[in-house]
Amino acid sequence: MSDRAKILVVDDTPNNVKLLADLLGAKGYDVVTAASGAQALELVKSAQPDLVLCDVVMPAMSGYEVCRRIRADAATELLPVVMVTALDPAEERIKGLEAGADDFLTKPINQPELLARVRSLLRIKLLHRQLAEANRTLEQRVHEQVQQLDRLGRLKRFFSPQLAESILAGGAEDPLRTHRREIVVVFLDLRGFTAFSETADPEEIMRVLHDYHQQMGEMVLAHEGTLERFAGDGMMVFFNDPVTVPDPALRAVRMVSAMRERLSELTAQWRKRGYELDFGAGIAQGYATIGAIGFEGRWDYGAIGTVTNLAARLCDEAGPGQVLMSQRVVASIDEMAEVEPIGALNLKGFLKPVPVCRLVALRA
């Protein structure tokens, strides 16, 4: 309880007001006074007292009416009100309780009793305030947690669960903010998928895509890649964003090598069913502009730049089972992989022929 709690004394008799004000002021309380019910209601709003001592019998507006109006206002419905009267205690107590009073004192006022009741009601007021503050804090925490979960759900659409949680915990900058970074981009798709989809039943097409996405998705998560998009049989993954990673090019090549090995098992099963499907991929390294792309209610995480176009064109040129890489990727992985130069290719969207190498195998 505050040592400077504020008490509003309401009485149309000046002597009674002075007596209560002097007594309460001597005990360390701030006291404001009102000589009528209308003045009391104005002070309740402007002075914001912690407790009201209100005489029952007053002209124009009784103490009961003052109490009822205090209770009718959501801002003051919990304000402690003590009714004071010289009338019959039993009858007036019932009226006071019906009006919403918290306590009742009879005149002449017993000073120790008055002070004890004031202290008790101010303690209750303090508890109400603490509870209200706790509720506000709880509501704020719940709101923040809901926002956190919503943001985590959005981030998990693009990143591994571990990375999404790291971002929210402050382990990485906000990835949805537009930024520029050097990345390694991987494009991959299924060779022969167009012909397959023209002849196969829709249910079988969905089953093949489900198996393909499931196997490739596991590889993306295992190598901590960022999945930019699924587009039917196509997929784009990049490395070194939203957090930088050591050897992003080598990480990308290892992922694609694992994918190729995993898909060799799948394609063998598909061939038994008469489906001529295979795997092709392109890998490029360079700078891109990265961030959230879209509109409210539908956001994607995208990378824009020449590097993405180059990886896509290399994927287009890759034959069944082939992984084609730009020179920059080959230089980054150094001698960690066995590669085979296949010459300079004329790629759509590029003015000059682009030197390209084929991934043969990773070295131990």
Instruction: Give pLDDT tens digits for 291-324.
Output: 877 776 666 777 899 999 999 999 999 999 999 9
Residue 2 has pLDDT above 50, yes or no: no
What's the pLDDT score for residue 322?
94
What's the pLDDT score for residue 148?
64
What CATH number has the domain spanning 6-134?
Answer: 3.40.50.2300
For the chain, the structural domain boundaries read 6-134, 174-362
DSSP labels, 294-354 = EETTEEEEEEESHHHHHHHHHHHH--TT-EEEEHHHHHHHTTSEEEEEEEEE--TT-SS-E
Q: 10 Å Cβ neighbour count for 171?
A: 11
Q: Kindly report, residue by residue over 92-133, the tens digit of the pLDDT.
A: 777 887 888 888 888 888 888 888 888 888 887 777 777 777
What's the pLDDT score for residue 1?
42
Mean local confidence (pLDDT), 253-282: 92
The CA–CA distances, whole Å, from 101 to 65, 66, 105, 121 equal: 11, 10, 11, 11
Percentage of the chain lying above the pLDDT 70 cut: 87
Mean local confidence (pLDDT), 40-66: 92
Distance between CA atoms of 26 and 126, rounded to whole angstroms? 21
Q: Kindly report, residue by residue over 184-197, the tens digit of the pLDDT.
A: 999 999 998 988 98
Q: Kindly report, residue by residue over 226-241, the tens digit of the pLDDT.
A: 887 777 788 999 999 8
Pick 107 or 262 by higher pLDDT. Answer: 262
Average pLDDT, the chain: 86
**Looking at 165-174, 220-229, 269-278, which range is the least confident one?**
165-174
Distance between CA atoms of 203 and 271, rounded to whole angstroms? 17
What CATH number has the domain spanning 174-362?
Answer: 3.30.70.1230
Mean local confidence (pLDDT), 207-218: 90
What's the pLDDT score for residue 357?
96
What's the pLDDT score for residue 298?
63
Letter for the amino acid at 158? F
What is the DSSP secondary structure assignment for residue 109, as one 8-state letter? Answer: P
Two tokens, residue 282:
């392109």
The dihedrals phi and psi of 174, each to the nearest 5 degrees, come to -60, 110
**Looking at 86-90, 178-182, 197-201, which range is the least confident one?**
86-90
